[in-house]
């Protein structure tokens, strides 16, 4: 018998057995998954609301990011228009918010890696991102990292860096302050909550840095990271951002 067929059959058998003991469910709608489905049911997978921001230099996320970074650039300093892209949209009623939340709070690393691979493939094919030579995840404070056991942004950054063929610099930035969970602070307080929260820990040789986070909402966290990087890197070094999800209006 063909070895590949035997291997696939064995894998299906093990999955089917696992489904009997502990049924797998779609992360988005909660329906039980069939043997052929992984993480998402076929219906939710085909309806995934892609942003296509990687195809448009000027998009709502990039406008929001650039507005946030311009608020903190010293007067008279020329800051190039930063590129920004997310894989998919969600709003508060959307089941797709479960994808970043499961990665962040339920250790769904395999789910996160699958969508990070999708994001990486699109960025690698985009003129705006293909020349990225350094990927830096938004860091967690060591206390939160210790409590969670992993940094969800680093899980995404590693896969995106692999897709882009660039270095993943996990120690590019350090989080200085233990800030309140962003979901527990109001929007106005959010910017002041993270401003000055980051410092460059290790300077790397790079011409195009890509900052990675799980979700983009106001852009204040990524703008604070941008500010810390700009204190070390000149404007000739481009600083772009990418996330799994983008919270639409
Ligand atoms: Zn579903």
Between CA 103 and CA 152 the distance in angstroms is 6
Per-residue pLDDT tens over the stretch 6-19: 667 787 877 777 77
Rounded to an integer, the average pLDDT of 102-127 is 96
Per-residue pLDDT tens over the stretch 71-94: 888 777 788 999 999 999 998 889
Q: How far away, in angstroms, is 74 Cα from ligand 1 center?
A: 47
Q: How far away, in angstroms, is 33 Cα from ligand 1 center?
A: 8
Per-residue pLDDT tens over the stretch 133-156: 999 999 999 889 999 999 999 999
Whether 193 shows a pLDDT value over 80: the answer reads: no
Whether 190 shows a pLDDT value over 60: the answer reads: no
Are 231 and 203 in contact, with CB atoms under 8 Å apart? no
Q: How far away, in angstroms, is 45 Cα from ligand 1 center?
A: 7
The pLDDT, as a whole number, for residue 159 is 98
Q: How far away, in angstroms, is 48 Cα from ligand 1 center?
A: 10
The pLDDT, as a whole number, for residue 21 is 73
Q: How far away, in angstroms, is 30 Cα from ligand 1 center?
A: 6
Rounded to an integer, the average pLDDT of 170-177 is 91
Q: How far away, in angstroms, is 46 Cα from ligand 1 center?
A: 10
Whether 197 shows a pLDDT value over 70: the answer reads: yes
Mean model confidence pLDDT for the chain: 90
Q: Is 134 helix (H, G, I), strand (E, B) or coil?
A: strand
**DSSP H stretches of helix in the chain:** 3-21, 42-46, 60-70, 98-105, 109-124, 142-148, 152-164, 187-194, 220-230
Are 51 and 61 in contact, with CB atoms under 8 Å apart? yes
Q: How far away, in angstroms, is 40 Cα from ligand 1 center?
A: 5
Rounded to an integer, the average pLDDT of 225-245 is 95
Per-residue pLDDT tens over the stretch 209-222: 999 999 999 999 99
% of the chain surpassing 70 pLDDT: 91
Are 213 and 205 in contact, with CB atoms under 8 Å apart? no
Q: How far away, in angstroms, is 194 Cα from ligand 1 center?
A: 35
pTM: predicted TM-score of the whole model, two decimal places: 0.88
Q: How far away, in angstroms, is 72 Cα from ligand 1 center?
A: 41
Whether 62 shows a pLDDT value over 70: the answer reads: yes
Whether 2 shows a pLDDT value over 80: the answer reads: no
The pLDDT, as a whole number, for residue 228 is 95
């Amino acid at each position: 018998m063909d070895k590949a067929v035997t291997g696939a059959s064995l894998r299906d058998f093990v999955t089917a057995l696992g489904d009997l003991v502990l049924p797998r469910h779609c992360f988005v709608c909660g329906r039980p998954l069939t043997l052929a489905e992984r993480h998402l049911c076929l219906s939710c997978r085909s309806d995934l609301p892609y942003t296509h921001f990687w195809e448009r230099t000027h998009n709502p996320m990039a406008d929001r990011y650039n507005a946030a970074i311009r608020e903190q650039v010293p007067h008279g300093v020329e800051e190039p228009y930063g590129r920004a892209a997310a894989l998919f949209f969600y709003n508060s009623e959307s089941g797709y918010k479960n994808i970043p939340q499961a990665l962040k709070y339920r250790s769904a690393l395999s789910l996160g890696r699958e969508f990070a691979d999708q994001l990486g493939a699109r960025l690698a094919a985009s003129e705006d991102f293909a020349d990225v030579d350094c990927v830096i995840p938004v860091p967690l404070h060591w206390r939160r990292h210790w409590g969670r056991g992993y940094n969800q942004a680093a899980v995404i950054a590693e896969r995106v860096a692999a897709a882009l063929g660039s270095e993943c610099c996990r120690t590019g930035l350090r989080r200085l302050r233990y800030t309140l969970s962003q979901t527990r602070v109001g929007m106005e307080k959010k910017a002041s909550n993270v401003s000055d929260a980051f410092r460059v820990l290790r300077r790397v040789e790079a011409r195009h840095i890509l900052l990675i986070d799980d979700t983009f909402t106001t852009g204040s966290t990524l703008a604070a990271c941008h500010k810390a990087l700009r204190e070390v890197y000149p404007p000739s070094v481009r600083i772009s951002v990418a996330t799994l999800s983008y919270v639409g209006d």
